[in-house]
Structure 1
Amino acid sequence: MNFFRHRHRIAFGPPVLVLLITAAGCSSADDSASAALPSPGAKATKLCRDLDKALPSKVDGESRHDPEPVSALTAGWGGPEIILRCGVTQPPKMIDPKVAEGADPDAVAGGVNGVDWLMEKRDGGGHRFTTAARSAYVEVTVPDGADSSSVLIDLAPAIRKAIPEGIAD
């Protein structure tokens, strides 16, 4: 009888163990998008922390759901997520307007509610927007299906409040 119970555990133990390991590996964090953390200098980091405190709880009607790893330098809304990264480096496509050579015809500049943006189409779909003429660069990726203008309108007040106009380091 003891032999049978021992065989029974061996026969069913590994599948149960695999199931438990799989279940333990799954969590709500696995459902989160991920975002590479920028590494800005001290001045931009302070501005980004101020921005994080000023960001709205909803963007384009979507609730805030920050990406992994959680940081004051990143924020997210909805799913697929609208991702904001603060303190990014200047995009290569953003050039001095005095320089005519090297301009990217697919990169479009524009302003929304007092915040200037560089808009780029993403290879995988959607768009990437990066603030211009601000003391820190803020990048926002918007997936296909999200209303880009609504996203930028919703984010503009927080960016105007936390990231002053100027030239980023």
Structure 2
Amino acid sequence: MQKLTVSELAKLYGYSRQAIYAHINKGNLSKGSDGLIDFSEAIRVFGEPKGKSVDDKQSKSINSQDLTQVDLLKSQVDLLEKQLNQALLRENQSIEREVFYQEQIEAMQRLLEAPKPHMTTFTDQELVQPNMAKTAPEQDKAEAKHEGLTTPEQTENKRILVPEQVEPEQPKRGFLSRFFLPNG
């Protein structure tokens, strides 16, 4: 069969060289190792060449421009589809990551809420002076009732708070002093 160059093929069909190269790059049209295009391959892609009139050449160049624009738009659509798929994939990954982190937070909160058997909490410990804490509000109430002049009898009836006796802690002793010093 006959082999044609890109320029000859463009003249024969009335396309621009850019349109022919666009078909080659897209894979619709194949070029041989010698750089020439088989005529049968051109017929397969573009069909039979028509008679050459001035109107045909103008319409073919317009069609080739439209073809290159269509090819350009198709490639842009493909690029946008790829970008959209990548964005959706990243969004799914971030949602999965967020769910994972939320589960981790909930697990940590459950661990914080669970009481440990060997640990004591602040609410389990008793106050050092429970009597003072209980009687202070009662004393404030009694003073609030007797505002103004007081008689000696009333002052004698007031309660005097006495702190509960707490024995001081003995100083800690070292290992050897436990054996050699008398008990204190």
TM-score band, normalised by the shorter chain?
under 0.3
Structure holding more strand per residue: 1
| Rg larger for | 2
Q: Which has the higher contact order (CA 8 A, sep 6+)?
A: 1
TM-score (norm 1): 0.22
TM score, norm. by length of structure 2:
0.20
Higher percent of residues as helix:
2
